[in-house]
Amino acid sequence: MLTMNELNLNNKRVLIRLDLNVPIHNGKITSNARIKSVLPTIRMASQKNAKVILMSHLGQPKKEQYEKKFSLWPVFQELQNQLSELKLRFTDNFDDVNHLDNGEICLLENVRFNKGETKNSTSLSKLYANLCDIFVMDAFGSAHRIHSSTYGVAMFARIKCAGPLLINEINILEKALTNPKRPMVAIVGGAKISTKFNILHSLKNIADTIIVGGGIANTFIAVNNEVGKSLCEKEYITEAKKILMTNKIIIPIDSRVSTSFNKDSVAILKNIDDINLNEEIMDIGIQSEKNITKIILNAKTILWNGPLGVFEFPNFSHGTKALAKAVSKSAGFSIAGGGDTINAIEKFQVKKNISYISTGGGSFLKFLEKKTLPCIDILK
């Protein structure tokens, strides 16, 4: 792949696909981590005297048209705040990019307002490509999506290359997957095991130990135990049993349960063989916390994607908090990725002690599974 660092950007129209899909509540950005991660890329392009055009998606608009709650305007305001020394503008009119000065930066409105974006429309892809002399893919978090602004534009752009953030993500993940220091421990949480089977099958060939949590763990628990009204995909129990036979999967031995699902629910500690029909598993238990802490502190490489329970509820945040603290204390090389994972890292204030935090969620998992992504392959 060509990289942005190698190219002469002087007086060139440079279109950069970023991942600025940040959480916004009541018009306010609640985490600017993804914005901060792309600032070096933007500054580099501006300092190299390019006419810089930025594009990104935000959320999932139901129709391919403007919706205020999905506008990138709050993101633009944050970029102005972070890049106060540079000249920025915001537009929903593609013609405006023809009037940029060298070093100036223009953020386009949410690409998902454009007709055909998520269907990888050929006409839209060509339109993007015609906006620029050079296309830079620097959105690792969207590199698994075959959309016009990620994949299609790369097919038609005169020159295409990888941005510094994308290159860094690839290098870090390849380091962890190709020759990891051992023992290597993977933590896979989340609601549905059906969405994580491929990654579990891949990880069982790479990792020495896989810790599972959330609804995924419940399906493994259900192989030999009752799980009451817990989130569980019973149709996948047979498949879960096969993976358990590898002896690499660590499931909880005790849990925090409740008879109701809300933030004020009282947590009841139960062994996993003692769950009643009216109870729901919402977190791992105290003994399980001790077990995973011991495993993680002994690890030399750690991959973390997903919480171990309903960490948003105070009474059921203990397991994920214990996990976060253990990863932060570990002397091993730790990589974390995924929206819920990053939220947990920020909530429990362990960010500075995680070796690397990936900007990708679905792309992070897909890369672990296949060691490449469509929007990386198209750049080669």
User: CA 42: distance to chain centroid?
Assistant: 21
Considering the candidates 59, 103, 228, 339, report the single residue annotated as catalytic.
339
Phi, psi of 141 (to 5 degrees): -65, -15
Beta bridge partners of 367: none
Q: Is 34 a catalytic residue?
A: yes
Q: Is 192 a catalytic residue?
A: yes
**Counting beta carbons within 10 angstroms of the beta carbon of residue 232, is it exposed (0 to 12), middle (13 to 18) or buried (19 or more)?**
buried
Q: In sequence order, what are the residues at sequence separation of 6 or more whose Cβ sits closer than 8 angstroms to the Cβ of residue 70?
A: 58, 59, 60, 61, 110, 112, 113
User: CA 134: distance to chain centroid?
Assistant: 26
Q: Is 362 a catalytic residue?
A: yes
> What does the alpha-carbon distance between residue 283 and residue 287 come to, in Å, rounded to a whole number?
12
- Helix and strand tally (H, E) in the chain? 13, 17
Q: Is 339 a catalytic residue?
A: yes
Q: Name which of 320, 316, 318, 317 is nearest 304 in CA terms.
A: 320
Residue 19 burial (CB count, 10 A): 25
Measured CA angle at 377 (ends 376, 379), to 5 deg:
70
Q: Name which of 138, 128, 133, 56 is nearest 90 in CA terms.
A: 56
Considering the candidates 87, 103, 362, 371, report the single residue annotated as catalytic.
362
Unique residue bearing structure tokens 């002399």: 133
The full DSSP string for 11-45 is T-EEEEE------EETTEES--HHHHHHHHHHHHH
Considering the candidates 87, 89, 175, 192, report the single residue annotated as catalytic.
192
Considering the candidates 13, 34, 145, 321, report the single residue annotated as catalytic.
34
Q: Name which of 196, 203, 197, 234 is nearest 218 in CA terms.
A: 234
> What does the alpha-carbon distance between residue 9 and residue 124 come to, in Å, rounded to a whole number?
24
Give me the active site residues, please.
34, 192, 339, 362
